[in-house]
Structure 1
Amino acid sequence: MSAEKKHLISSVFWNLLLLSAGSVVCAIGLNSIVIPKGFVTGGLSGVCLLIYYLTGTLSPAMWYFIINIPVFILGWVFISRRFFFYSLYGMIAFSLSLQLLNIGFEINDSFLAILAGGAIMGAGAGIALHSLGSLGGMDIVSIFLNQKFGIRIGTFLFAFNMLLFVFSFGTLDTDLVLYSIALSFVTSQVLDHTLTMFNQRKMILIISRKNDEIAKLINDRLGRGATFLHGTGAYSGEDKKIILTIVHNYQLKRVEEMVFSIDPDSFLITENTFNVLGKGFSKANKY
């Protein structure tokens, strides 16, 4: 078997694994915590829950499957086939998980339920979105609007959820709607953290009189590249070379030790970066 074919099989397996795991985790959060408490989530799953609460017919899993049909037609026409099929698998896996998985959690306090439900659902959605697909729903619509009209994905999802919650005020108890808004906030925070936790890096700016020596050590000992930025001291008027490098989180202390062992008078600035794409780091997802 060729190396390219092995890579393709591995890639497909990995994406399906991420979608399957994300589906199971999200379904557990919904069935075990959110639905028993009567909360409404954001996105298309929130629409399905609202319909389920109002009508009492079918199940959230069946409503999710039905409402996704026109959404997937949109995805088939305007988004890539690979993204469509991965998302189709994710949607089916999520619907089946919703239908079959129901692990009971005895959580009486609503605020604890918000924290637990939001953390579980956010983690599940983040795992799924590390793949080249999605679990269906508004992810497909938001990607379409972003590609077609340049509307930011986060802006669209925020506006859609606000409309959903405003509508919920007329159909559900006010306390439940407010709890649901808090749940959506916790879910989004955990989702963002899950998406960035495997890609967060440290960007370092180093100002030193021994920048050539420091840059060589960063390259030789850590295997990381470095770039010289040219600046001028505002007080001294001296021309300076500033080292810019990006390292993994666990390499930060080694950089600090190297820098200050060479030049104790160095000036070092560290910033978190949440999306580093390129050789030696992550690759951009191509839908």
Structure 2
Amino acid sequence: MKLYSYNHKLAESVWWNLFLLTLGGLLTAVCIQSVAAPHDFLAGGIMGVALLTNYWTGTLTPLVWYAMICVPIYLFGWFFVGKRFLLYTAYGTLCTTVFGFFINFTIPLQSELYAAVVGGVLHGAAGGLMLRTLGSGGGTDVIAVVLKDRWNFSIGQFNVIFNGLLFLLGAYRLPFDLIVASMIMMFISSNALEYVLGMFNRRKLVFIISDHGEEISEAILVTERFGATMLRGKGAYSGSDREILLTVTNNIALKRLENLVFSIDRNALFIVENTFYVSGGQFARRGR
């Protein structure tokens, strides 16, 4: 419980959130200024709109356009989303824009494929860090949250539709090779984002089916101090009642838990699934 209390306080800490948003803003600025813009790549969301606007007009910089486009979105979001979420998000956007004024180097990559890989890793890591805070990376995240909260419109569906239209529009300005390279960058970005977002929250979901569920649950609470939930089931073939235990653990304690279960019931069924994200209970919770 002490570890949970510490993790919960850290996740809620203003300074920790500002640190992650600052680091995420720095990585985003490096991605755009040093990789994406020099290679004429597109990104997803409002950042993609900013890049396309910069390519078409040849004025300002992509990050300045990004900040300008985000302002009316945040004003709109002020009336519909949590103020804390919006202020953290605005801070992340500010960091990205400010860092952009100081980053004037280009990562020396000649191959568009290599540039797409590096840009995708930077962009995804930045987005993952920002989403691990009580805010987000900004841009379409605010619109997506409003649509989700008010009209139950899927965030994933919105992003797919928005980015699909953006890339179709970009095809009128950019060579098809660059569109493909941009899509590769965004594919890598989405995977890097998921990895970073779940890096500290990945757990093992364990189902234990046994005739000695009560005894196993007591042993788990005493020796492992995990939370456990008792479910009631019925064998489809035997028709006998079964006790199903559900608990969440980590890689380190998984083998120890397995040994504990089979020391009590050698005939138990021990099922393990990977979980992408666990929040609440004895685990740190991300609020908005």
TM-score of the superposition, structure 1-length normalised?
A: 0.91
Aligned to 2:135: 133
- Measured in 2, the distance between the counterparts of 1:32 and 1:196 equals 27
8 Å Cα contact 2:134/2:286 also seen in 1? no
Aligned to 2:208: 206
Q: Secondary structure at the match of 1:244?
A: strand
Aligned to 2:166: 164
Is the deviation greater in 219-228 or in 97-106? Answer: 97-106
Q: Residue type matched to 1:116 in 2?
A: V
Question: How does 1:223-234 map onto structure 2 within 5 Å?
Answer: 223-234=225-236
Q: Residue type matched to 2:155 in 1?
A: I
Gaps of 5+ in 1: 1-6
Q: Residue type matched to 2:25 in 1?
A: S
What root-mean-square deviation, in Å, do the aligned CA atoms of Structure 1 and Structure 2 show?
1.9
Aligned to 2:4: none
8 Å Cα contact 2:11/2:133 also seen in 1? no
Superposed displacement of residue 103, structure 1: 4.5
Q: Deviations over 1:90-133 (max 9, x none)?
A: 11111111221245322222222212210111011110111111
Aligned to 2:52: 50
Aligned to 2:256: 254
Q: Residue type matched to 2:238 in 1?
A: S
In structure 2, relative to structure 1, the CA distance for the partners of 1:240 and 1:45 (3 Å cut) is same
Superposed displacement of residue 198, structure 1: 1.5
- Measured in 1, the distance between the counterparts of 2:12 and 2:164 equals 39
Question: How does 1:1-287 map onto structure 2 within 5 Å?
Answer: 11-285=13-287, 287=288
- Fraction of identical pairs, as percent: 40
Stretches (4+) displaced over 3 A = 7-10
- Measured in 2, the distance between the counterparts of 1:11 and 1:204 equals 31
8 Å Cα contact 1:76/1:84 also seen in 2? yes
In structure 2, relative to structure 1, the CA distance for the partners of 1:113 and 1:149 (3 Å cut) is same
Q: Residue type matched to 2:35 in 1?
A: I
In structure 2, relative to structure 1, the CA distance for the partners of 1:254 and 1:102 (3 Å cut) is farther
- Measured in 1, the distance between the counterparts of 2:278 and 2:121 equals 25
TM-score of the superposition, structure 2-length normalised?
A: 0.91
Q: Residue type matched to 1:27 in 2?
A: A
Gaps of 5+ in 2: 1-8
In structure 2, relative to structure 1, the CA distance for the partners of 1:223 and 1:17 (3 Å cut) is same
- Measured in 2, the distance between the counterparts of 1:165 and 1:9 equals 35
Aligned to 1:4: none
Superposed displacement of residue 212, structure 1: 2.7
8 Å Cα contact 1:200/1:249 also seen in 2? no
Q: Secondary structure at the match of 2:13?
A: helix
Q: Residue type matched to 1:81 in 2?
A: K
- Measured in 1, the distance between the counterparts of 2:92 and 2:135 equals 7
Superposed displacement of residue 9, structure 1: 12
- Measured in 2, the distance between the counterparts of 1:267 and 1:15 equals 41
In structure 2, relative to structure 1, the CA distance for the partners of 1:92 and 1:103 (3 Å cut) is same
In structure 2, relative to structure 1, the CA distance for the partners of 1:241 and 1:10 (3 Å cut) is closer
8 Å Cα contact 2:38/2:106 also seen in 1? no
Superposed displacement of residue 36, structure 1: 1.7
8 Å Cα contact 1:145/1:151 also seen in 2? yes
- Measured in 2, the distance between the counterparts of 1:159 and 1:41 equals 14
Q: Residue type matched to 2:13 in 1?
A: S
Q: Residue type matched to 1:229 in 2?
A: L
